[in-house]
Chains A and B, each alone.
Chain A
């Protein structure tokens, strides 16, 4: 009788294994054919997945608006041989406020590029998912603090990936750092003291001078989490720390980030002081 044969080949049980549901954030999308899109999605439990969304570029699609970049949604997926297919979407948070502000959008895309580049397909990384979701929520809630949110997100993602930055003491000798301005070694991933700098001359090209303010922001980041804010306006020091984090990431990943290049090419960029919020 129909409906009893649940365990056989092609029965509901086997189909069930190919259907799955998870919460995911749309990292990026590519056009495919006439009206489809391929989406790169960071799911919470199933890692990064590539999925086809059929017909979403047609204005009549009910899916299109629900699968815009940055959207966090519950997805109902069908696992395919090469790629998944999206069957149904329920929006959790659209993050439309981020897409409607150029600076916030760039900031969010830089975070998505990092999330995309440090994960392999199919490797679950719930901690990364939670960090990205948390950071996107902070962009909506505290738009004027976007630069610090992004820097802190990058710092925490590196720590979660086993590459914690050494900012409390000298990354070379472990000794104490001088007060005020310091030097950051991209090779060692941390600040180094004056005497270590003196005889690590070979590293000269990989040393970045960091102001006292930015050094303070870096050490603050090492002991705080997303959602914490330092006392007083972070302003220029946070921006400097953010630029340093970009360089650290690019050194670590051994490549230039596309989002960083585009942001550098645009006048202004994420500027906390000029937002006037």
Chain B
């Protein structure tokens, strides 16, 4: 069903491949872009190219970075003895927003999921081990997702790192702040009970 010229159709098809965008939204966005003044459209196109050219993965932690090394890794004020290990760059952003962590990061690029064919070899464990062997690290925080795959990844990491004499900690699971206890599911509530602390 090609109602549009090949050029417009091509744009709609490309927009359609973006996450969360269906054919209808793609069509609406394409027509909106068509209505933009030329220089605004060029600016948008240029910023896409810039992102591809300038943004890459940090050579140390594999977070998103504009240079060889990211802003966090090059920040002298941050604690170099603690590394927080996460699945994806967006997890770094989430933890940074909390302001609760002042160490450095390591982005694995996913989580262990054998049934999807993702094992340790598909993740950046070799790079993590190289960093740890470099010395100066006393604690690893496993901040992978609190789901089956994230848990498996944390367990594997603990097995791998413990022989180096480095402490491995896991972020706590519990109740969302501001909510009512009675609305919590039984698994989360069970975890919260297991992780109770003395007041």
Contact = CB atoms under 8 A, between A and B. Distances in A.
Interface of A: 27-28, 33-34, 59-60, 62-66, 68-70, 91, 94, 96, 99-102, 105-106, 109-110, 112-113, 116, 258-259, 261-263, 265-266
B156 A102 contact: yes
A68 B114 contact: no
B152 A265 contact: no
A28 B187 CA distance: 18
Contacts of B116: 28, 258
B179 interface: yes
B118 A65 contact: no
Contacts of A99: 148, 151-152
Contacts of B151: 99-100, 105
Interface of B: 19-20, 112-121, 147-149, 151-152, 155-156, 159, 176, 179, 183-188, 190
Contacts of B121: 265
Given A64-B185, A266-B119, A110 B114 contact: yes
A155 to B, nearest CB: 21
B185 A263 contact: no
A62 B120 contact: no
B89 to A, nearest CB: 16
B114 to A, nearest CB: 4
**4 residue pairs, one from A and one from B, having the closest CB atoms:** A262-B119, A65-B187, A258-B117, A262-B114
Nearest to B155: A102
Nearest to B147: A68
A21 B91 CA distance: 36
Nearest to A60: B176
24 contacts: A62-B183, A62-B184, A62-B185, A64-B147, A64-B185, A68-B148, A68-B187, A69-B149, A91-B186, A99-B148, A99-B151, A102-B156, A105-B148, A105-B155, A109-B114, A109-B115, A113-B115, A258-B115, A258-B116, A259-B115, A265-B119, A266-B119, A266-B120, A266-B156
Contacts of A59: 176
A33 B120 contact: no
A231 B116 CA distance: 36
A70 B148 contact: yes
A34 B90 CA distance: 13
A259 B117 CA distance: 6
A117 to B, nearest CB: 10
Contact of A105 (B20, B152, B179): B152
A149 B183 CA distance: 37
A64 to B, nearest CB: 7
Contacts of B148: 68-70, 99, 105
Centre residue among B114, B149, B155, B159 by max chain A CB count within 10 A: B114
Contacts of B117: 258, 261-262
Nearest to A112: B115
B6 to A, nearest CB: 29
A215 to B, nearest CB: 29
Nearest to B153: A102
Contacts of B149: 69
A99 to B, nearest CB: 5
A29 to B, nearest CB: 8
Contact of A258 (B114, B155, B176, B186): B114
Centre residue among B118, B149, B179, B187 by max chain A CB count within 10 A: B187
B106 to A, nearest CB: 19
A62 B180 CA distance: 12
B185 A65 contact: yes
Nearest to B179: A60
A68 B115 CA distance: 14
A74 to B, nearest CB: 14
B95 to A, nearest CB: 14
A266 to B, nearest CB: 6
A109 B116 CA distance: 10
B188 A259 contact: no
Nearest to A89: B185
Contact of A33 (B20, B112, B184): B20
A259 B114 contact: yes
Given A69-B149, A258-B115, A258-B117, 18 more contacts: A27-B115, A28-B115, A34-B20, A63-B185, A66-B186, A69-B148, A70-B148, A91-B186, A96-B187, A102-B155, A105-B148, A106-B114, A110-B114, A113-B115, A261-B117, A261-B119, A263-B119, A266-B156
